[in-house]
Structure 1
Amino acid sequence: MTEIDAIDDTRSGEKPETPLRDVIIIGAGLSGIDCAYRLREENPDVDYLILERRERIGGTWDLFRYPGVRSDSDIYSLSYPFEPWPKVAALAEGADIRDYIEHTADKYGITDHIRFSRHVLGADWDSTTDTWTFDVEVGEGEGKRRETHRSRFVVFATGYYDYDNPYTPRFAGAEDFSGTIVHPQHWPEDLDYRGKRIIVIGSGATAVSLVPNLAEQAAHVTMLQRSPSYIFSSKQKQYLAPFLKKVLPPKAAHQAIRFRYSTQTAAIVHLTHKFPKLGRKLLRLNVAANLPDDYPIDVHFNPTYNPWDQRMCLVPDADLFNGITEGSIEMVTDHIDRFDETGIRLASGRHLDADIIVTATGLQLLGFGGTRLRVDGDEVKPHDRFVFKSHLLEDVPNLAWSVGYTNASWTLRADMTARAVANLVRYMRENGYTHAYPHLGPEPMPAQPLWDLKAGYVERSPDALPKSGTRGHWKVRHNYYRDAIDHHLGKVEDSMVFGRV
């Protein structure tokens, strides 16, 4: 009987035995595929399975399909260290990123280990057997059924936000609007916006990537923001990358380019944190260089917070600024009074006409994909637990969680997490351990938020994610190079409790 038969085949009339995997990975996006690769790299014979809720590989890059969706950080550090990015542009389109993830999974034999349309509802740890048991919902609609999976170790590569419920504030009069209201997270495939007047509410990465793309076919696009964000124009044409690809082998060139971009980002973040006034000045100069001399920059592009208190918005080749200069895009900084039949009335008294309103108003945080966690029957609430080495949960056995940086590419930390998990699994197998977890000890430690952002989606959901400590490996940092040093110098057994069933 094959592994699939052991899970699904009930023709004998008896309940089939659920196989015990070494590792189950939840999620087949960037992090999940990365983790699968690193697991097999360190443990060639490891028995693993990926459970993916969606019907395709890609995670975030399959979910978001709005016009213009792209990376908001450079693609070289967002891509995998072990698989060169094949294209040239620094900011990549969402469809290309999804294709790259799928290509990587196919190339390294990972796709065969994925079970699609599997929504993991619950994960229960049993200390008498040292196993995780997963309650999984398969499919949708009338054909929906339940399935059970078991493993020694689990990795949550589920991201950090709610796939089903994006954040949309309650707007007075929204029911009176006669046009179409849409959120980018649930973009309708058949939405025809050609020749339409569009208002995009928002000032983050989604809005700045969506607006220029809509403006190519719409009659006019207004980007309506309550307050400004830092927006920086990045040139798409590369000089160093093509040169290195010509003179070095593909993987060596990729590593060099990746190092250059990750170092550049780290230096910029450090510089602007240490010298925020200088950072503001440099960012303002970038905006001013791409807009008319008399444009009111300080009204629309001068945030009240310092650089990197929130994520920076990058735009390729000044596309947003070009649209403003040409007149196809208008920036409006104001508060919404109410929607009405034909558009939006602002607090200033101005009225914006619209056929379509796009609410690019943000995400809802959701840790661990909303999966209910229990250890020996007791519910584990992630926000009550400290994070250890940025990926393990305090006193929760055989569980890891992949989450990225707030000021650098997601994959920089996701890959570090994948390698750490692979090393931990190898160490446990070599020493015959069946459980491992980090333990804080009796000395109390203050808590602080996991993320150092002042973004709305973080402040709206303070209890959605685990908490950071203030010292040692219990402190979650957003500094890739300091973490990389600790990763190489640290020992697997630091502050860990190991045992056998």
Structure 2
Amino acid sequence: MTVTPQQDDRFDVIIVGAGISGIDAAYRIAERNPGLTYTILERRAQIGGTWDLFRYPGVRSDSSIFTLSFPFEPWTRKEGVADGGHIREYLTATARKYGIDRHIRFNSHVRSADWDSSTDTWTVTVEQDGGEKRYRGRFLFFASGYYNYDEGYTPDFPGIDRFAGAVVHPQHWPEDLDYTGKRIVVIGSGATAVTLIPSLAERAEKVTMLQRSPTYLISASKYGKVAAVARMLLPRNAAHLVIRTYSALTEAVFFFLSRKAPGFVKWLLRRKAIKKLPAGYDVDVHFKPRYNPWDQRMCLIPDADLYNAVSGGRAEVVTDRIEGFDATGIALESGKHLDADIIVTATGLQLQALGGATISMDGVAIDHRDRFVYKAHMLEDVPNLFWCVGYTNASWTLRADITARATAKLLAHMAAHGYTHAYPHLGNEPMDVKPSWDIQANYVKRSVQALPKSGTKRPWNVRQNYLADALDYRFDRIEEAMVFGRAADRAPLAG
């Protein structure tokens, strides 16, 4: 049965997701296009997105909070690496300050969206409060991230059902889990594992990080001197701009150095590990990866907290492979056994585009995996649709804000010229394909087919280069490879 949207369910812009990307998009679109109406459809019960979902001990930013925060709303706390709870508070306060929270409809899970070319509108079907509801909008902005919220990735571990203790995935951490005095094995060596372990070690009897192979770790101070000096000398907004720019440049320079001089960066990181770990510790077994820096995302350990936990005897690292599980823990291929009361499977995410929603045009399903990405945020030949995805080698918000501003700019251009639809078009130009994400992380290699295609030439090339993208945005040709038009009979919308 077709459900006809009521007048109050029609908007100029529908934003999916009330996390960092959604709040940024709402602010930028309203800032440049104050006459447009918008709503934010959020599947969860509160603001935050990733920062509301992840509640495991020690959850924090894995890059500078000054680049993860919004350029238009300064981060005012002292720390440069922020706890998850403080990030949620910041996002909630920002949404309240700018009136964005009044536009959010919670418990609204977007399941599908269909483009009607006769009216140039999207009809969005939403699972809401146990029923189904439909919204109609001229523009659709997916700020729903890049992974499956419902389930993380857990390998098929042999005999895991025989384990008598608790098995926990960090994506769904139980609120009532008491790990005080427990023996915990954390499987994995990525950002989640290295975040969890120092926090767990504060209360657990013993925490073991079990890894197949090491990951590169970079230690940095949680409280930066540049931020302190800038705040002392400059007004709040100016200080935030200086700190944010410094942080972005520092991240970019270190990434560039990692790619151009990997041997030097390996030496630098190894030297830091040797300095922080006990004398004689086998750094080359447990903290010397087999790949080059930034082939996979590098993990931040503020103030060397993981090294300190190992040095203090509260945590250990075991590099081995799992043979199987039994009632009391994990048997390893080396013949060793890890006794455990709790096993944490910090084994990664599952990639998912567009929040898992199905997309169609005039009732005909389209597969986003067959489409090239335009300027990293639009899909080839799909009108009035935007998708926000951050960088793999820098803070998420750096690209999210470029995407939001580019979207707002396009909407203003369309309004000025009376256009009702716009879409990028490649045409018959031959284009080689490369992965949208070029890191070798396991969660990407497992599901690279879940993402749209990247070309090798601009504007179809998805780059992981904030400085180049920021420069491109400044000199953007808004009509490049774009098709604009007007619907013959566009339905009237609010605003």
Partner in structure 1 of residue 430 of structure 2? 444
> How far off is 1:17 after superposition?
4.3
Distance 1:19 1:218, change over 3 A: closer
Counterparts of residues 250-399 of structure 1 (less than 5 Å):
250-399=236-385
Contact 1:232 1:287 in 2 (8 A): no
Separation of aligned partners in 2, 1:390 and 1:20: 27
Separation of aligned partners in 1, 2:80 and 2:215: 21
Q: Counterpart of 1:473 in 2: which secondary structure?
A: coil
Task: Look up the equivalent residue of 1:427 and give its one-letter code.
Answer: H
Partner in structure 1 of residue 94 of structure 2? 104
Contact 1:291 1:322 in 2 (8 A): yes
Separation of aligned partners in 1, 2:5 and 2:209: 57
Aligned with 1:72 (options 45, 62, 69): 62
Aligned residues: 485
Partner in structure 1 of residue 106 of structure 2? 116
Separation of aligned partners in 1, 2:315 and 2:10: 56
Distance 1:433 1:172, change over 3 A: same
Separation of aligned partners in 1, 2:140 and 2:69: 23
Separation of aligned partners in 1, 2:448 and 2:466: 24
Partner in structure 2 of residue 7 of structure 1? none
Distance 1:114 1:378, change over 3 A: same
Is 1:426 equivalent to 2:416 in the alignment? no
Counterparts of residues 21-420 of structure 1 (less than 5 Å):
21-139=11-129, 144-420=130-406
> How far off is 1:382 after superposition?
1.1
Task: Look up the equivalent residue of 1:329 and give its one-letter code.
Answer: A
Separation of aligned partners in 2, 1:150 and 1:73: 37
Separation of aligned partners in 1, 2:50 and 2:177: 21
Task: Look up the equivalent residue of 1:111 and give its one-letter code.
Answer: D
Q: Counterpart of 1:217 in 2: which secondary structure?
A: coil
Separation of aligned partners in 1, 2:391 and 2:340: 37
Task: Look up the equivalent residue of 1:290 and give its one-letter code.
Answer: K
Q: Show structure 1 runs of 5+ residues with no match.
A: 1-9
Partner in structure 2 of residue 493 of structure 1? 479
Q: Counterpart of 2:276 in 1: which secondary structure?
A: coil
Separation of aligned partners in 2, 1:361 and 1:238: 31
Q: Deviations over 1:61-94 (max 9, x none)?
A: 0000000000101100010000000112121101
Separation of aligned partners in 1, 2:255 and 2:219: 16
Separation of aligned partners in 1, 2:242 and 2:345: 39
Contact 1:132 1:150 in 2 (8 A): yes
Task: Look up the equivalent residue of 2:287 and give its one-letter code.
Answer: F
> How far off is 1:19 after superposition?
4.0
Separation of aligned partners in 2, 1:56 and 1:93: 18
Q: Which moved more, 1:216-225 or 1:377-386?
A: 377-386
> How far off is 1:239 after superposition?
1.6
Task: Look up the equivalent residue of 2:61 and give its one-letter code.
Answer: S
Separation of aligned partners in 2, 1:312 and 1:298: 17
Contact 1:134 1:149 in 2 (8 A): yes
Separation of aligned partners in 2, 1:88 and 1:15: 47
Contact 1:18 1:148 in 2 (8 A): no
Partner in structure 1 of residue 461 of structure 2? 475
> How far off is 1:493 after superposition?
1.1
Contact 1:390 1:474 in 2 (8 A): yes
Task: Look up the equivalent residue of 2:320 and give its one-letter code.
Answer: D
Contact 2:5 2:136 in 1 (8 A): no
Task: Look up the equivalent residue of 1:238 and give its one-letter code.
Answer: G
> How far off is 1:18 after superposition?
5.6
Contact 2:184 2:340 in 1 (8 A): yes
Separation of aligned partners in 2, 1:169 and 1:338: 12
Separation of aligned partners in 2, 1:17 and 1:259: 44
> How far off is 1:238 after superposition?
2.1
Distance 1:123 1:449, change over 3 A: same
> How far off is 1:318 after superposition?
1.1
Q: Show structure 2 runs of 5+ residues with no match.
A: 488-495
> How far off is 1:279 after superposition?
1.3
Q: Which moved more, 1:126-135 or 1:239-248?
A: 239-248
Moved over 6 A (4+): none
Task: Look up the equivalent residue of 1:354 and give its one-letter code.
Answer: A
Identity of aligned residues (%): 58
Task: Look up the equivalent residue of 1:107 and give its one-letter code.
Answer: K
Contact 2:81 2:223 in 1 (8 A): no
Please, what is the CA RMSD of the aligned residues? Answer: 1.1
Separation of aligned partners in 2, 1:330 and 1:245: 39
